Amino acid sequence: MRLESAGGTFVDVAAGPGTDAGPVVRVGIGGDDWLGRGEATGAAATGGDASPGAADGESSDGVDVVEGSDAYGSYRSMVTVDGAVRCSVRAYSNRAMIVFRTEATVDLTGLATGAFDQPSVGWPVFTPGDRAPGSGPQGLKAVAFQHCEFALPTMAGPELDGFFLLPHRPPTAWPLLLTSADGRTLMLAPLGDFHDVTVGLNGGTVRCGWHGDLESAPAGFATDLAVFAGTGPRDCLDQWGELLLEQAGTVRPGRWADALAARPSYWTDNGAAYWYKTEPGHDVAGSIVAAVDELRANDVALGAVQLDSWFYPHADLRPFDTDEWVVPPSAMVAWEERSDVLPDGIADLRSRLGHPPLVAHIRHLSADAPISAELPVHVDGPYSAPATPEMYERWLDQCLAWGVETFEHDWLVEVFFGVRGLRAAPGRAREWQEGIDRAARDRGITLQWCMGTPADFAQTTTLTQVTSVRTSGDHGYIATAGQLWAWFCTTNAMARALGLMPFKDVFRTDPEADGANGEIEALLSVLSTGPVGLGDRVGRFEFDVAHRTCRADGILIKPDVPIAAIDSAILSS
């Protein structure tokens, strides 16, 4: 049985190869089979009887085709597995979109598989090696956005295997884009519940479904995985983003919603001159004050000043003014000033800076942090994560006391993958981020998301305070400048589709520190529509470069939309 959506995208549903096998699906355009055999796995393959006492599943070869409509439009639908887990597929007549729905019809427990990328409920799990003979599209290329820091893009060939995936994160990535030699493109991406789903890669399969760390799901919990068809990667990303924004009723902050978005800012993060370093003859505060004073003395209309992770204590304290150290992954012990770094506190530093709006960095939390013993948390080894919004409410109250306008939440990926409790039940990660957003909105504070995964990007459609999001790795760290620019422009294609303002990260104009790249870095920063972060040391600014990032009144110059890679660049990244 074939269901077909607008534009000729189809899903074929047929009986499985054995008497105990569930239905098999194949997805494609025209006569081409793009993904190979797809089937239900895990709890879906047994009807969901991973929970004691759950009803046995009842597989069908899709004899019943139902017509209906929902928020996405009119469709024809088939239920392929109907039991404690119901699997269905819908093809929409008004969109070039097919949706695979997975729903718990009873309370489910005991779902976890032991690996995030191995679905607890798989629907569908595709085997590209089992494409119908001779039916694969010619010249197929695949691009996916990894569920790692800054959504690092990765590529593979027609076998949809051998993706380069960062080894310290689960092998999972979406959106997953498949483009043939003639430009036709299919894209797999969820329509909601972004932190609860996975598209596992490598090992010969494309594993879609509920992620493998999910331990339970209540009756009624349902997820939708969409397959979009378009004329190229950007077209599919734009369709997805437009649909998410429309369904969520997203209201994005204005283009100049805070000082960070409105004017050049001074940064002290990794890649900047004073990240765990001081200017000779100055202490930490004096170094930053001297740099800001010099910018203002040379008519740079500075807005916000950023304070990075160096100002608060971690489980492993990093010393200043030494290169014999790596980026510290250790967790935060308290969100308060280090007495050995800012003995007079942030309030005194802000006063010496002339009372600018501040951007304050925060990261994942240590299980040994005193606040972890005071308020509800999920604990996982050395880390903990807030289980209610109260902890963020306290921190955001502290923002008001310090004069912080933008709360920069870094290490989002480490919070999520570092604390199993956030992944054990559906909706917990969404509640975590919506709780931060709500508390920030109540206090008039804006948010910057940093080290986010595609799930973090997509979940911003239900948030109101995120004024910028980092879309590439740290300036001058690990990757070359060219690699970082490609990463930035490619991930921007996803951020742009979601209506987000990307942040390229800090840059330096000093030729001794950044070679001849200062002007390119400044140009990319301006074209991002997001912050322009200056990070040079005293005496080494190229003020003309800083001046050209903004108008005569100091307001940043911005294009209508962020710079982003075109299709051919995405497919060669």
Classify residue 475: in a domain, yes or no.
Answer: yes
| Secondary structure (H, E, C), 347-402 | HHHHHHCCCCCEEEEECCEECCCHHHHHCCEEEECCEEEECCCHHHHHHHHHHHHH
Counting the structural domains of the chain, the total is: 2
- Burial class from Cβ neighbours inside 10 Å (0-12, 13-18, 19+) for residue 134 reads exposed
Provide the domain limits for residue 535. Answer: 259-570
- Burial class from Cβ neighbours inside 10 Å (0-12, 13-18, 19+) for residue 509 reads buried
Strand pairing report for 305-307 and 358-362: parallel
- In this predicted model, what pLDDT tens digit does every residue of 272-322 receive, in sequence order? 999 999 999 999 999 999 999 999 999 999 999 999 999 999 999 999 999
CB of 173 within 8 A of CB of 164? Answer: no
Longest dimension (CA), the chain: 80
377 in the same domain as 231 = no
- Is a pLDDT exceeding 70 seen at residue 60? no
293 in the same domain as 242 = no
**Gap between the Cα atoms of 483 and 480, Å rounded:** 5
Helix, strand, coil abundance in the chain, percent, nearest 5: 25, 25, 45
264 in the same domain as 213 = no
- In this predicted model, what pLDDT tens digit does every residue of 536-558 receive, in sequence order? 999 999 999 999 999 999 999 99
Can you give the pTM of this predicted structure?
0.95
Share of the chain above pLDDT 90, in %: 90
Q: What mean pLDDT is reported for the chain?
A: 95
296 in the same domain as 218 = no
Classify residue 474: in a domain, yes or no.
Answer: yes
Classify residue 349: in a domain, yes or no.
Answer: yes
Classify residue 383: in a domain, yes or no.
Answer: yes
Q: Which of 248, 281, 297 is the last residue of a domain?
A: 248
211 in the same domain as 170 = yes
The CATH number assigned to the domain holding 239 equals 2.70.98
Measuring CA to CA, which residue among 487, 428, 386, 444 is closest to residue 259? Answer: 444
Classify residue 43: in a domain, yes or no.
Answer: yes
In sequence order, what E strands does 416-488 have? 446-449, 466-470
Classify residue 253: in a domain, yes or no.
Answer: no
Determine the angle formed by the axes of helices 481-497 and 518-527, rounding to 10 degrees.
0
CB atoms within 10 A of CB 522: 22
Measuring CA to CA, which residue among 1, 111, 14, 116 is closest to residue 65? Answer: 1
Residue 13: per-residue pLDDT: 95
- Is a pLDDT exceeding 70 seen at residue 49? no
222 in the same domain as 276 = no
Q: How many residues does the chain have?
A: 573
Classify residue 254: in a domain, yes or no.
Answer: no
200 in the same domain as 164 = yes
Range 198-212 average pLDDT? 99
The CATH number assigned to the domain holding 274 equals 3.20.20.70
191 in the same domain as 81 = yes
316 in the same domain as 213 = no
Q: Which of 201, 224, 248 is the last residue of a domain?
A: 248
Q: Which of 248, 271, 289 is the last residue of a domain?
A: 248
Classify residue 393: in a domain, yes or no.
Answer: yes
531 in the same domain as 463 = yes
Residue 18: per-residue pLDDT: 60
CB of 9 within 8 A of CB of 28? Answer: yes
235 in the same domain as 280 = no
Query: What's CA 238's distance to the chain center, in Å?
Result: 16
279 in the same domain as 231 = no
